[in-house]
Structure 1
């Protein structure tokens, strides 16, 4: 039996069998990928955030949204400041599987070309997520048998990771898999179409499929709300550590853990808790990435100078803890200039006074803000763990 995908716009499409052979066969027509981006001379300037970070084996970068790909001023800052990029939406299922039987990589290729032209590394985001599933695929996954759902998952990961093979340093294999709010399952997993169709084993499966398709890409678990000091985040940290211990014992090829780091100013950071969490991840042999950094300034005053100073101070406290950990490899902000932040569009993140958030290191005129300077100083002052980080990058 195979999963038949139907749409009013196209004929049904047959999904290949859920096997390694099927994945490799599906990649046979893929053009060989060029060498990993970032191998040559980079575009960043000597005074950039990436240059300061690279001194200790770190990389700084940003998410790049498709709507900014024609903005010359925006792209100039990307080239000057960044050593690593991640597509905002361009490698998500919703953007690529636009209809049954259709794989559209036109937006993906824009980011691949940009990184290659700038000599920048690339991350991939994201292979398995509860959100970002095309509307046409959602009911099909919901009705699928385990066999059918696995077939579809193999086809999807084989397509996107195969297309980008050799160009992606690390993939967010799973994204936001822990439940939000009340935890109803002992394992803490979010109820998703993938969990319903495949059970908890979908997580291990996704990492194994990526490793079959692109063994040189580091498989990453990307998760939110594990950084700050409230009891429910501590519970999430414990769930993360427990699941990763099990994955390592089962031989799952998980190489990194990503902390999204959408940091909320109303919530404090407990340096001791955070250091312990990072240390335990590192002791399990994982690299660590800060994947979506920004600073929700809702709790700070309206005055811009005061607010910018408080955001910068908060960022420096966080980064001073994070950058002490030798396993931390990359620091990426979720975009880099204030008008682009998602915080202003999210109903739970808007400031009560209605003012726009100042969450990122550049302002609307692409000027470096106090946050930029705090990040630069934190990178420059960080201990040199270059050798340890280079070893982890080779995993």
Structure 2
């Protein structure tokens, strides 16, 4: 978006958002940068193009952006051998215009797979290896100039029953078509392909459900540490761990085990970042919107502080606003009682909420 467009938006913003845009107070990206940290958010190219108010907000608040879908297999390679990069290029162009950085998400995942992929993987290890190598090398060649950090593998860790993992496995790795096709070495294989394709790229493993004070979260933390230590012992290239941060208020949170986990990762020489922060409200809601928003901000604030205590310096939310959020649209995570979850810094009308204020306070401390 051009500067003249951004300057012209202030008079058209909703009341709450206008106060943010016209205030002399800095945006979150500026506050974070002043403290040696980074703030970012997930975006969708079609929303940036269709909603100038939202795009102005993203430009103001985020130093770092990540495409929600544009970097996943079903968008990039909908048919075998046919690559479609224009949606991802749109995100990269926006970032360049706003002096933002872009994270890539995700080179290997068991979801968002085009229809052709799983059957092709099942035809044999040699073909599965070729498919994986072709995809990673092609994508990294396309994005090398604009993306210097990729989630190479996403959500590979299994967990015992009772947690937020619907497909627990007998080992540390989640059962997926990739595991079936290539065996337990597929994570290492993907990381080595990525390093060979781009020697200076930051290679990240991205994982969820490792934050709460529950037995299944602790088991998943232990599994992730075992997998990571095994990779590093084999001199596998790996630079960072992404902690998604899809928080669930119905689960207890205690800083001590989570901070110890982060510090264990840091002790291995890895960077750690929060990649997909949002908050699902509990089954029993506070009686007012104000109470609900305050509770969300308090829960997220404890997580943010613990993350920083554990050495995290980069924090991304999975969207800035409740408008078109996956917490609302995805049946698996939306509230069954029909109440719209208020789990982002801005509401559906793009008005700042207490979570936005908590982030500003966090980055100013």
Common fold by TM > 0.5: yes
Partner of 1:233 in structure 2? Answer: 217
What secondary structure is seen at the aligned counterpart in 1 of 2:108?
strand
Kindly indicate which of the two structures has a greater share of residues assigned to helix: 2
Partner of 1:5 in structure 2? Answer: none
Per-residue deviation, residues 267-306 of structure 1 (Å, max 9, x unmatched) = 0111110110011011111101101000001333252011
Q: How does 1:365-384 map to 2 (within 5 A)?
A: 365-381=349-365
Which ranges in structure 1 are unaligned for 5 or more consecutive residues? 1-43, 382-395
Q: Which moved more, 1:90-99 or 1:338-347?
A: 338-347
Deviation, structure 1 residue 161: 1.1
Cα gap change, 1:93 to 1:348, in 2 (>3 Å): closer
Partner of 1:314 in structure 2? Answer: 299
Q: CA RMSD in A?
A: 1.6
Give the length in aligned residue pairs.
335
The answer to whether the 8 Å contact 2:243/2:274 transfers is yes
Calculate the TM-score normalised by the size of structure 2: 0.88
The answer to whether the 8 Å contact 1:49/1:376 transfers is yes
Partner of 2:81 in structure 1? Answer: 101
Partner of 1:212 in structure 2? Answer: 196
Alignment counterpart, residue 281 of structure 2, candidates 291, 294, 297: 297
Deviation, structure 1 residue 329: 3.0
Cα gap change, 1:355 to 1:91, in 2 (>3 Å): same
Cα gap change, 1:181 to 1:91, in 2 (>3 Å): closer
Partner of 2:230 in structure 1? Answer: 246
The yes-or-no answer on 1:173 pairing with 2:152 is yes
The answer to whether the 8 Å contact 1:221/1:256 transfers is yes
The answer to whether the 8 Å contact 1:298/1:357 transfers is no
Deviation, structure 1 residue 176: 0.7
Per-residue deviation, residues 40-61 of structure 1 (Å, max 9, x unmatched) = xxxx996111111112221101
The yes-or-no answer on 1:117 pairing with 2:97 is yes
The 2-side partners of 1:344 and 1:364 are apart by: 11
Q: How does 1:1-395 map to 2 (within 5 A)?
A: 47-70=26-49, 71-143=51-123, 145-179=124-158, 180-181=165-166, 183-186=168-171, 188-299=172-283, 300-326=285-311, 328-381=312-365
Where has structure 1 moved over 3 Å in runs of 4 or more?
A: 181-184
Deviation, structure 1 residue 166: 3.0
Deviation, structure 1 residue 109: 0.5
Which ranges in structure 2 are unaligned for 5 or more consecutive residues? 1-20, 159-164
Deviation, structure 1 residue 349: 2.7
Q: Which moved more, 1:51-60 or 1:218-227?
A: 51-60
Calculate the TM-score normalised by the size of structure 1: 0.82
